[in-house]
Amino acid sequence: MKVNKLKLSMLCLCFLLFMSFQHCASAGNQKIGSGYRLVSLEENSNGGGLLGKLELKQKTSVYGPDVPHLCLFVKHESEDRLRVHLTDASEERWEVPYNLLPREQPPTVKGSTTTTTCVPFTATEYSGDELLFSYKADPFSFSVKRKSNGDVLFDSTAKDDDPYSSLVFKDQYLEISTRLPETAALYGLGENTQPGGIRLRPNDPYTLYTTDASAINLNMDLYGSHPVYMDLRNANGEANAHAVLLLNSNGMDIVYRGSSLTYKVIGGVFDFYFFKGPTPLAVVDQYTTLIGRPAPMPYWALGFHQCRWGYRNLSVVEGVVEGYKKAQIPLDVIWNDDDHMDAAKDFTLDPVNYPRPKLLAFLDKIHSQGMKYIVLIDPGIAVNSSYGVYQRGMAKDVYIKYQGKPYLAQVWPGPVYFPDYLNPQGVSWWVDEIARFHELVPVDGLWIDMNEASNFCTGKCELPKDHPCPIPNSSEPWVCCLDCKNITSTRWDEPPYKINASGAHVALGFKTIATSAEHYNGVLEYNAHSIYGFSQAVATHKALLGLEGKRPFILTRSTFVGSGAYAAHWTGDNKGTWNDIRYSISTILNFGLFGMPMVGSDICGFYPAPTEELCNRWIQLGAFYPFSRDHANYYSPRQELYVWDSVAKSARNALGLRYKLLPYLYTLNYEAHTRGAPIARPVFFSFPNFTACYGLSTQFLLGSSVMVSPVLKKAARSVKVIFPPGTWYNLFDMTKAVFSKDERYITLDAPLNEINVHVYQNTILPMQQGGLISKEARKTPFTLVVTFPLGATQADAKGNVFVDEDERPEMKLVDGESSYVEFYASIRGKTVTVWSEVQMGSFSVEKQLMIENVIVLGLQGSGHGLAIEVDGEAVTDVYGVHFSDPAQMNMEKLEGGNKKNSMMVEIGGLGLPLGKKFSISWKMGIKG
């Protein structure tokens, strides 16, 4: 009988969801009103932008009454960025807080007075250095053009036969659209798991609203909200990229039809930012200039991390560390999920399974070796009168409220209250609690999870009177144990337009904080929901920065525009399947676009148990995620990399190369922090005119020139890959290379324990000898790998490396604290020259960092009788010179066949200080 009732209730739910979808779909397809007309437009005489007033043309009732008067603000904020801001002219509306995401505040207009001197603006165009704003007055629409080629980047005009409305601005429904060329390649609009790859597909759903819905759910709103897209266009062989950000934290549906894109937003304002590009790298540079540069990561964070939900006591954790050491697999960071806590309460230790004296002794041991320790904390604070964290929070009144009382929810410890990180008192309380915890346990970073915020219950809840709660040790701890009632009495809980939340138009408060709950100063959860994780990351960063003056490391699940300036991210709960390993690449590449380059996926899958073969392939790929961590579910079998001998072999191979590449990865970390450049990048970032890679989501670049080509299919022992034209050298065996001439796919061998990683021509790649811990690996001598096109007689190559004391909170070039070295190489005829230029070299000299070897690839001629000069002086035979005959240089097979001969020259025993400039030159011998 229970089964029948369950089936009946499910049928009713499905019917209600279907009817809700039908209503939303029918309303969503109709045109709403006739838009607005521009009634005045003025220009600030001091270059402060345009200020305009709009009035409604015709009232409508769909989704509520219209806002009758709007204020328009337009400004070229820099030579690269244009802002278009639209809001209610009479009433202040919710915007992303300016103290949370610092930026210029637009002027306000009430009546006809402003605080600046303005003159009437009568032109139809408002020009910046490259971007051009133009408008039509009635009905009002605007467009953004590129001056250099006339390309229209955004056009909000709505014609009668368009499937979208003119500008709509209601209290809880805002709509605006742009027409697009069908050939435009779009990327971004996350967070979601995109089965079709990184390029956005027309008619896929794009809903933004932070949700605790695992990454296994496809085309659905997930943990983060990033309403930004990059638009890449190629006309006549010339690529141009730009980006569009709608800075709005309210829930929204974005309808991408291929020829148009429509925003349907349930609150806030239209605050558009346009970034001119024209290259993909320039776009993220300009974007992160506005939202905040990516946080600098400590060197050790680029090492390998191991975690599991289910390390039930400290001895298990100790065994894991020993297991990695015994298997000779690199490991820098060991993590605890919530297992270390006392009854899942934040900032506590389980006195039985994680007794403090033993934990401190363990940390002393691993810290002395250079390893680090990170633990999880959730935002939900257990409602427990004997719990000091809860008591201090109540005393400072830091919790989100509903009807004047702290909002009651349930997460892992049972009944909880959620701290309000928009409340200054909440932030100071959180900073204090982290400081107290750090005195208890000297952790090296914090993992903030469940911060969408996740709630196991829905609605208005009370503590139960007839059954126990909490139930943290139950077999199903995520089942709600509170007495709850749905909230339907307010327009915030049941807005007139229902976004496609959770892919099923569920209520906005479903399994999260009720949208009519209030933050500090009466801010509604309805508006602030999607910035909750962002605000927690900002507060956590402040806390860690104040502890020991060290560079913070924070991993967050929920993210928003600007989160990358404070934290790293992982892609959330994934499955141990071949599909999920493939999906992970697109999500990681997207977060590079979002300004969060330190990102990775749970290697081998969070649940259920992966197969041995899948784990082999996943660690080969995951070794080249920017953030590389194995993380498993409590209910899955153990999957540490040493569990299977074959996986351990793959791990030693792939992580072995990662640890050799750490100086390169750390330099990319520096470039991310200073220029916004993603660490893992879509191939089109370096090859924007190679249109065959616009949708490529099975390969990616680390930096500008290292290509990762993983196996993503079961039982495969080869992989089909595509390479932009040029020479690509195999980093596992530098005597192998691919010479690509066109868009044909190449089949490469990929035995079970091997992954293909190649470096492009014209590169100088700084590498070290590797090791089992990054602290030791970074002390080893450098090798410079110089790559020329195969057989070139005239070519150039370049590279760079940044080194510093990574515990310092700031990552910048300061004499005595860091060094930056640029490497150059050229071949002219038979003369090869390699040299460096050094900035702030004293740090590298003090640390005794040395360049031991130089390897040059792609040369013609003979290596016999090389006359080598270092800094203009001939050297003797004490320098080890090794070279490969052209016959020994193996071309990896290219379909259709393309083979050339080349050779490799390696000069060893150099002992050149990294911090001092050098020059090496020689002439190649004559063949034969």
Listing DSSP states for 378-415 in one string gives -SPEE--TT-HHHHHHHHHT-B-EETTEEPEEEETTEE
337, 452, 602, 852: the catalytic one is 452
877-913: buried (b, 16+ CB within 10 Å) or exposed (e) per residue?
A: eeeebebbebeebebbebeeebeeebbbbbbeebebb
Which residue reads 């919530």 in tokens? 338
Of the candidates 344, 326, 340, the one whose C-alpha atom is nearest the C-alpha of residue 411 is 344
Q: Under a CB-based contact definition with an 8 Å cutoff, are residues 623 and 753 in contact? A: no
Prior bond of 139 cis (ω within 30°): yes
378, 573, 806, 906: the catalytic one is 573
Report the C-alpha gap between 548 and 435 in whole angstroms. 10
Report the C-alpha gap between 806 and 897 in whole angstroms. 47
Query: Cα torsion for 483, 488, 489, 495, to the nearest 10°?
Result: 140
Listing DSSP states for 712-741 in one string gives -STT-SEEEEE--SEEEEESS-TTEEEEE-
Report the C-alpha gap between 767 and 560 in whole angstroms. 34
Backbone angles phi, psi at 461, to 5 degrees: -120, 155
DSSP 8-state code for residue 359: H
Q: How many residues does the chain have?
A: 928
Please state at what angle helix 645-660 crosses helix 612-622, rounded to 10 degrees: 0
Query: Cα torsion for 322, 326, 328, 331, to the nearest 10°?
Result: 0
DSSP 8-state code for residue 564: G
**Nearest 5°: CA angle at 11, between 8 and 12?**
90
Report the C-alpha gap between 748 and 915 in whole angstroms. 39
Which residue reads 């983060």 in tokens? 224
Identify whether 449 is a catalytic site residue: yes
Greatest C-alpha distance within the chain: 93
66, 253, 449, 518: the catalytic one is 449
Report the C-alpha gap between 605 and 632 in whole angstroms. 7
Task: Classify burial at 405, counting beta carbons within 10 Å of its beta carbon; exposed 0-12, middle 13-18, buried 19 or more.
Answer: exposed
| Strands 912-913 and 850-859, bridge-based pairing | antiparallel
Report the C-alpha gap between 397 and 347 in whole angstroms. 19
Prior bond of 470 cis (ω within 30°): yes
Identify whether 873 is a catalytic site residue: no
DSSP 8-state code for residue 530: G
Q: How far is CA 558 from CA 28, 531, 544, 562, 751, in A?
A: 28, 8, 19, 12, 37
Secondary structure in 3-state letters for 744-790: CEEEEECCCCCCEEEEECCEEEEECCCCCCHHHHCCCCEEEEEECCC
Report the C-alpha gap between 841 and 863 in whole angstroms. 32
Of the candidates 150, 288, 286, 280, the one whose C-alpha atom is nearest the C-alpha of residue 693 is 280
Write out the two tokens for 515. Answer: 């949208």
Report the C-alpha gap between 304 and 334 in whole angstroms. 9
Which residue reads 């709103």 in tokens? 221
What strands lie across the sheet with 50-56, from one edge to the other?
118-120, 36-44, 50-56, 69-76, 81-88, 270-275, 238-246, 226-235, 185-190
Identify whether 191 is a catalytic site residue: no
Q: Under a CB-based contact definition with an 8 Å cutoff, are residues 777 and 659 in contact? A: yes
Q: Which residues are catalytic?
A: 449, 452, 573
